[in-house]
A and B are shown apart, each in its own frame.
Chain A
Amino acid sequence: DTAVSQTPKYLVTQMGNDKSIKCEQNLGHDTMYWYKQDSKKFLKIMFSYNNKELIINETVPNRFSPKSPDKAHLNLHINSLELGDSAVYFCASSQDPLPNEQFFGPGTRLTVL
């Protein structure tokens, strides 16, 4: 059983397009996250939702909009894609509010041409 899954695994698109990445977890966790990992492997948190409520919103362009239809799903929609958006995006989940470990998805490699 896949604990945290993401679709698609690869996404290649043109500048200016709009795209979405989907994430689902079957661990029963309350909190989900989106991270961006750049080409130097630096991992930066973007957003976090707890029970469908946004709790962390780092300095991310407003072209990025997360949506959590329920606590098992957290999607990321990106408008007007730019070259600098090319990265690997990871979804993760954890059982909060205690500071527990996070479980990561396999990642979505986004390439903007």
Chain B
Amino acid sequence: AQSVAQPEDQVNVAEGNPLTVKCTYSVSGNPYLFWYVQYPNRGLQFLLKYITGDNLVKGSYGFEAEFNKSQTSFHLKKPSALVSDSALYFCAVRDKAGGSYIPTFGRGTSLIVHP
């Protein structure tokens, strides 16, 4: 069975500093990995995905993520954090089962960017 782990409930970073939100995964087949962001009282918004190809994936709002197969990780990064990046971030994996790509989400990491 597939699973996603986000080891940190909360990440605190100062504005202007680089940020990393961690994600590790476990799948039986090829990993299809996603990051989503959720602002308060809103639905999730897609940030970026890894399907195949380059291990460094660039996404919306200056975010990027690095796929590391040997460490089964897909950490989300941004070179310079903004206060407006403060939100809840979800890592997700889709693994094929019975002909469908079933999505599984991590428990979420709350990112707090301090001015």
Name A's B-contacting residues (CB within 8 A): 4, 33, 40-45, 48, 50, 55-56, 90, 92, 96-107
Q: Which of the four size classes fits the interface of chain B?
A: 20 to 34
B61 to chain A, nearest CB (A): 15
Mark the stretch among B15-23, B69-77, B78-86, B95-103 that contacts chain A.
Answer: B95-103
Give B102's nearest chain A residue, CB to CB. Answer: A56
Contact B43 A104 (CB under 8 A): yes
Q: Given A56-B102, A96-B101, verify A102-B46 contact (CB < 8 Å).
A: yes
* CB < 8 Å neighbour of A42 from B42, B43, B107: B107
**B12 interface residue (CB < 8 Å to A):** no
- For this complex, 16 residue pairs linking A to B, each with C-beta atoms less than 8 Å apart, are A41-B107, A43-B44, A43-B105, A48-B100, A50-B100, A97-B99, A97-B100, A98-B51, A99-B94, A99-B96, A100-B49, A101-B34, A101-B49, A102-B103, A104-B36, A105-B43
